[in-house]
Structure 1
């Protein structure tokens, strides 16, 4: 597992697993929800990858990500069908065997009775040494091993599982965001003031996100930092720099962390 960095930054990666995502048949929304959830817990989502339902691809990506970041969250591939191979790949990445978890088997027996088919039993498999991640929605739980959390791909179920992941995370300082909205000016005019503030605050994240519509155009300038005092100072500097550049249609708007 990757160790904590010197600046108290705790990092995570998301590994999205599934041919249906890469083909465009299914639109992924889990990445957005995970990023927001991690941010509340002081964990920075630093990378996201999407891989097909191919054993070697999953193993390689998982090993690369878990060595680089504090946590890895995977989504997808833990259902009952032949192409749900995430459990096997995670076990292979950690060099352990899979076994049928008795607690999951008991849940299945209570729900389905004698109709616990071999396909359904596939969802009871957990790597040796792993722990369960509660599923408050429906179906079997996910699992965790090392610094990896293996969650369902169905968004509603995945969000429910996340609630059991949060308490297990070692959070860092929570990142705070503020947004300065500029209307009637393009990025070409905004670029120089934004770059000046970015150079003065290298530890902060500053981004420009253009908008168009309803006869209006401009950009939302988003500043993110763990230091609320520095963030407030940077916002003031940015507003002053924009006005010095002749831009006056400026206002701060609420933004998510």
Structure 2
């Protein structure tokens, strides 16, 4: 079986609507390419008890737990010490990270707030940050990254080679304009029953031009089975008198 992942988004700004999360889609896509399907996503506030409780729970349930947000220099950036508490280890200066940050900062600017970014749970392995140097880190099966998308993505690419994965997720899709879900529900369920190792999703779409229809997406880990299911989906669309169009609607 493929290893599983959970994404834990940490930040009051996400829950309030002030900031729109841009990391979930990237992580879910990249993890799928590595054969690590995402099975759950949670968004939680910058509250110590909540962060600690979620880390303790989720790292026990999933092979990989990836967090984003809360590792900057300000008072509400509390993810790192919360991870240390969840693992029952001290939160302390990581000498190598401290030296890198000190060398990166302008003379006299490496103040106490910025020094917090060099503090990691004891035993953690830094995740390199080629954008702004301040590291993320891994401890056990928990991987802690920044919330800023450009930095998070750079961190993830340095982390990715170390992640234990499985067979990559394969997908194939067809869509049809003017097709409605109500017309395909029963036959689509029959196709799903035939291909129980494939996840078949039905996604209505509507564009500003008034164009609308349904996109049918098949996902799994065996390419032959996925494409066989997609062929059945294409045949279903065709049998209903609609034109099957390969790929996602634009």
Give the shorter-chain TM-score range.
Answer: over 0.9
Match of 1:198 among 180, 187, 192: 192
**For residues 247 and 110 of structure 2, what CA distance do their matches in structure 1 show?**
53
Q: In the TM superposition, what is the alpha-carbon distance from 1:175 to its structure 2 partner?
A: 1.1
**For residues 70 and 41 of structure 2, what CA distance do their matches in structure 1 show?**
16
Partner of 1:150: 144
SS in structure 1 of the partner of residue 27 of structure 2: helix
Partner of 1:93: 86
SS in structure 1 of the partner of residue 55 of structure 2: helix
After TM superposition, the structure 1 stretch with the greater mean CA deviation from structure 2, 84-93 or 210-219, is: 210-219
Partner of 1:235: 230
- After superposition, the Cα gap between the structure-2 partners of 1:220 and 1:115, relative to the gap in structure 1 and judged at 3 Å, is same
The answer to whether the 8 A contact 1:19-1:53 is kept is yes
Match of 1:42 among 3, 25, 35: 35
The answer to whether the 8 A contact 2:23-2:149 is kept is yes
> Structure 2 matches for 1:163-182, cutoff 5 A?
163-182=157-176
Could you list the runs of 5+ residues in structure 2 that have no partner in the other structure? none
Q: In the TM superposition, what is the alpha-carbon distance from 1:200 to its structure 2 partner?
A: 1.0
**For residues 15 and 132 of structure 2, what CA distance do their matches in structure 1 show?**
26
Per-residue CA deviation, residues 26-76 of structure 1 (Å, 9 max, x unaligned), is 110011111111111111011110110100000111111110110011111
**For residues 139 and 231 of structure 1, what CA distance do their matches in structure 2 show?**
41
SS in structure 2 of the partner of residue 189 of structure 1: helix
The answer to whether the 8 A contact 1:184-1:249 is kept is no
**For residues 241 and 89 of structure 1, what CA distance do their matches in structure 2 show?**
51
SS in structure 2 of the partner of residue 64 of structure 1: helix
Q: TM-score, normalised by structure 1?
A: 0.92
The answer to whether the 8 A contact 1:11-1:44 is kept is yes
Q: Is the aligned partner of 1:108 residue 2:101?
A: yes
Partner of 2:218: 223
> Structure 2 matches for 1:15-30, cutoff 5 A?
15-30=8-23
Q: In the TM superposition, what is the alpha-carbon distance from 1:232 to its structure 2 partner?
A: 1.8
SS in structure 2 of the partner of residue 126 of structure 1: strand
Q: In the TM superposition, what is the alpha-carbon distance from 1:248 to its structure 2 partner?
A: 2.6
SS in structure 2 of the partner of residue 182 of structure 1: strand
RMSD (Å), alpha carbons: 1.4
SS in structure 2 of the partner of residue 43 of structure 1: coil
Partner of 1:5: none
Q: Is the aligned partner of 1:31 residue 2:17?
A: no
SS in structure 1 of the partner of residue 108 of structure 2: helix
Q: TM-score, normalised by structure 2?
A: 0.95
Could you list the runs of 5+ residues in structure 1 that have no partner in the other structure? 1-7
**For residues 47 and 253 of structure 1, what CA distance do their matches in structure 2 show?**
25
